[in-house]
Amino acid sequence: MSQLICKNLTLGYGTKIIIENLNFEVNKGDYLCIVGENGSGKTTLIKTILHLLKPLAGTITTGDGLLVDEISYLPQQTDVQRDFPASVREIVLSGCQSRCGKRPFYNKEEKQLAVAAMEKLGIRHLAKKCYRELSGGQQQRTLLARALCAAQKMLLLDEPVTGLDPAATEEMYSLIQQLNKDGITIIMISHDTEAALKYASHVLHIGNGANGSNSSKIFFGDVKEYDRNFNTVL
């Protein structure tokens, strides 16, 4: 059984439909890359999977032991965060929030989990540093560590390499690859088709329909198929 099944999904706001009839499945250990132009609805799709938005039609079901709130998330950075006075440790620890439930404070286990996540992403030495003084790559790793604290089964990443320099981008990709090898299912939004082909196991391409037609052009399949289908076009 798949971890995530999207069936006949229609997404949009109000009466404006962005994506229609979207079908795909994600299995445990997959590395799905969602590619497509700006405005094609990639972020909307992610937010719908996370239950931040409601689909206009269709269903999203989780299975294979995955619960809805066990999907973690690496969002794009917001303006608020750029000058936020918080230490790396505080931010990583805030990923444990959902484990607390009604308990107001973090327990020992959760603090250890945060330390382990920082260790894994190589930012333990930055624990007391202020978030706004970090480099872009370090900031992303902090948010990734927070995501790992929240859940370790499936991870959704929204443009994780935006604004990073080539070296940091490379590092970020290999970190994500490592997490995938450790058994975390990855769903990543990216502009970067090349990286998608290099790292992903599956690709979901959402294109704006050709010749101004309203319905969008959707491709879903594994990487080899995608390569065959689109190499001639791109």
Strand partners, 206: 36, 218
CA distances from 194 to 31, 200, 230 (A): 14, 10, 12
Report in angstroms how near the CB of residue 95 gets to other proteins at its nearest.
Answer: 7
- For residue 142, the minimal CB distance to other proteins (Å) is 11
Question: Hey, which residues between 116 and 155 contact other proteins (CB under 8 A)?
Answer: 128-130, 133, 146-147, 150-151
- Shortest distance (Å) from residue 94 CB to other proteins: 4
Q: Would you give the binding string for other proteins spanning residues 57-76, x where CB under 8 A is met?
A: ------------x-xxx-x-
Q: How far apart are CA 208 and CA 28, in angstroms?
A: 29
The beta-carbon contacts of 206-214 under 8 Å, at least 24 apart in sequence, are 206/19, 206/22, 206/34, 206/35, 206/36, 206/40, 206/41, 206/42, 206/45, 207/36, 207/37, 207/40, 208/36, 208/37, 208/39, 208/40, 214/17
- What lies within 8 Å, CB to CB, of 85 at 6+ separation is 130, 131, 132
Binding letters toward other proteins, positions 23-52, x by CB under 8 A: ------------------------x--xxx
Length of the chain: 234
Instruction: Closer to other proteins by CB, 187 or 218: give it.
Output: 187
How many residues touch other proteins under the rule CB under 8 A: the total is 35
Nearest approach, Cβ of 169 to other proteins (angstroms)? 22
Asked whether position 162 contacts other proteins by CB under 8 A, the answer is no
212 makes contact with other proteins (CB under 8 A): no
Q: Which is nearer to other proteins, 128 or 212 (CB)?
A: 128
Q: Is 81 near other proteins (CB under 8 A)?
A: yes
Q: Which residues bind other proteins (CB under 8 A)?
A: 47, 50-52, 69, 71-73, 75, 78, 80-81, 84-87, 89-91, 94-95, 97-98, 100, 104-106, 128-130, 133, 146-147, 150-151
